[in-house]
Structure 1
Amino acid sequence: MIERLSVTTPGQGLHSITRNLRSALSGRLPDQGLCTLYIRHTSASLLIQENYDPSAQRDLEAWLNRLVPENDPLYTHTLEGPDDMPAHIKAMLTAVSIGIPIVDGQLALGSWQGVYLWEHRHGRQQREVLIHIGG
């Protein structure tokens, strides 16, 4: 089974898609299997991370922005603005696909885990995540 999840991001940062994912898969998961998520973009990524304390998300965002700054004079790919090349580098350093085991018909996320779309561009974006379920 392959589903498409459309996500509108308001701008740069970690955006939880856990609820959207569970809603899209409600009643459709096998007893056991694997849920693979894949984002079809080169300037956004996917992440499983803590969903309890928002300061963890802010710290991750701040750390990655410090690691990959905008307006670096080494960048030549600047046609789409100062956030374009850093967004590609951030997507390269993170993940465009993740796998989540399915156990007893549920995504086997830990108590404090959430699924996030990590938007690396500043402006509002429309992103598509493919969901593949293998049983």
Structure 2
Amino acid sequence: MTVKSKRIKLSTKGWDDVIDVTEQVAAFVSESKIKNGLATIFIHGSTASVTTIEYEPGLVKDIKNLDEKLIPSSISYAHDATWGDANGYAHLRASFLGPSLSVPIEEGELTLGTWQQIVVIDHDNRPRSREVVIQVIGE
């Protein structure tokens, strides 16, 4: 079994910035020469998440609207009182989606659906430099 890892840097705008990383992940899977296995995508930090969506402007807007309805940025959270950084909502949003995603690899390709892209969402209230770890395991 082979394990290969790569880190990619992202500059985000914050406020539920959605960034498509599918091409970077697919390129690394190809580089790795692993034919069958698993790709895991992990984002450092507690205010960002990784998921899959159909990456198109309407759905990106819908995600931002849904996040605001479910976990509003305009109310106070206990975290805000503790740290004074007014981003308690960002931690909660990130915890719902989670920091990682695993995608099976078959015949050297990610097994994503036609309209399924891998995205990083930065929920924080400011621009950030983010690091994403891609780890591929298999044969």
Asked whether the two chains share a fold, i.e. TM above 0.5, the reply is yes
Could you state the TM-score of these two structures normalised by the residue count of structure 2? 0.86
Question: Structure 1 unaligned runs (5+)?
Answer: none
Query: 1:5 offset after TM fit, Å?
Result: 1.5
Q: Using the alignment, how far apart are the partners of 1:80 and 1:131 within structure 2? A: 32
Report if the CA contact (8 A) 1:29-1:102 is conserved: no
Q: Using the alignment, how far apart are the partners of 1:132 and 1:97 within structure 2? A: 11
Q: Using the alignment, how far apart are the partners of 1:29 and 1:101 within structure 2? A: 14
1:51-81 per-position Cα deviation (integer Å, ceiling 9, x unaligned): 2x321121111111111112324x1322353
* Equivalent AA in structure 1 for residue 26 of structure 2: R
Counterpart in the other structure of 1:133 = 136
Q: Using the alignment, how far apart are the partners of 2:84 and 2:40 within structure 1? A: 30
1:18-61 per-position Cα deviation (integer Å, ceiling 9, x unaligned): 1222334442241110001111110000011112x321121111
Equivalent runs, 1:18-97 vs 2, <5 Å: 18-51=22-55, 53-73=56-76, 75-78=77-80, 79-82=83-86, 84-97=87-100
Report if the CA contact (8 A) 1:40-1:127 is conserved: yes
Q: Using the alignment, how far apart are the partners of 2:84 and 2:110 within structure 1? A: 37
Report if the CA contact (8 A) 1:29-1:106 is conserved: no
Q: What is the RMSD of the two structures over their aligned residues, measured on CA atoms?
A: 1.6
The counterpart of 1:6, out of the listed 6, 9, 18, is 9
Report if the CA contact (8 A) 1:101-1:107 is conserved: yes
Could you state the TM-score of these two structures normalised by the residue count of structure 1? 0.88
As a proportion of its length, which structure holds more helix?
2
Equivalent runs, 1:100-119 vs 2, <5 Å: 100-119=103-122
Question: What is the percentage of aligned positions where both structures have the same residue?
Answer: 27
Query: 1:3 offset after TM fit, Å?
Result: 1.2
* Equivalent AA in structure 1 for residue 52 of structure 2: I
SS at the partner of 2:31?
Answer: coil
